[in-house]
Amino acid sequence: MRHRRLNFSVGAFVFLVLFCAILYLAPLIYLLNVALESAHQFLANPLTLPHPIMWQNFVNAWRDATMGVYFSNSVIYTGAATILAVACAVFLAFPVERRYVRGSNAVYLSMVLGFFLPIGIIPLFIESQMLHLYNNRIGYILLHIQGGLTLGFIFFVAYFKTIPRELDESAALDGCGYLRYLFQIVLPLIKPALATVGIYAAVAVWNDLIGPVVFLANNSLFPLTRGLFTFYGSYQSEWTLLAAGIFIVASPLILAFIILQRNFIEGSLSGSLKL
């Protein structure tokens, strides 16, 4: 009976692994397949294997969409917005979780409600024009802090519960200041949580497609996602170059997740213990 149960568990596990691999890897493999096909082969039969392999599609996509400029813009937007969102979330979540400020429960409740409410594009557009944040780098970065801030706040509040309060008291008795305590003691303890929130926030900014269309009007300010519109039009679309461009856009995030996956998993599990 034990052997039967063991075989059933192994079989179910293998089935789930294969199912997840097909579900998540199949679209990526098909995208790469299209990116390596010629335009004629794609129009004739998009399901065949590329023959010959057109590595030139990646070079053409990078050149035709001026992705060098868009890539640098995406790095600036993603890096700045992620750092600001994570920093603001840490400095807001710690005193709220420790109840060092009045109205901590109200602040926590408002942030949780704000996380579940949809983002109003039209009010943000009007606000960006009134505050002179429309069509400039600083405004675009500030408008993208909201998502990472709310998620990071909720996540860090749960994670800070794993840090004993006795550590705060010991640091205060030793004459350690508040900012020094956060930077030298708290931040090293929450590295997995920082990686987790940082990945979530970076993905949201990097993959944003609506934001560049609404809040940016100058071509020199567009990120990578906005550059993909170069290959799509009302009368003609270059699908193989578009697939290559999508693969270029997705590659940095895939590499970042592979590098930080250990911290990402540790942060998610540790934070969930106190949710």
Reply yes or no on domain 67-272 having CATH 1.10.3720.10: yes
Which amino acid is located at 95 in the chain? P
pLDDT at 126 over 50: yes
C-alpha–C-alpha distance, residues 47 and 180, integer Å: 58
Once rounded to an integer, what is the mean pLDDT over residues 121-127? 85
Q: How far apart are CA 55 and CA 47, in angstroms?
A: 18
Query: Angle CA(108)–CA(201)–CA(69) in degrees, nearest 5?
Result: 145
Pair 248, 223: CB distance under 8 Å: no
pLDDT tens sequence across 220-261: 899 988 878 777 765 467 888 888 888 888 888 888 777 776
268 pLDDT band (50/70/90 cuts)?
A: low
User: Is the separation of the CB atoms in 37 and 50 below 8 Å?
Assistant: yes
Angle between helices 2-35 and 239-272 (to 10 degrees): 140
Tokens of 146: 């909201």
CA distance 275 to 268: 11
Amino acid at 58: F
3-state secondary structure of 50: coil
- On the question of pLDDT at 180 being above 70, the answer is yes
Dump pLDDT digits (tens) for 80-118.
Answer: 999 999 999 999 999 898 888 888 888 888 888 877 877
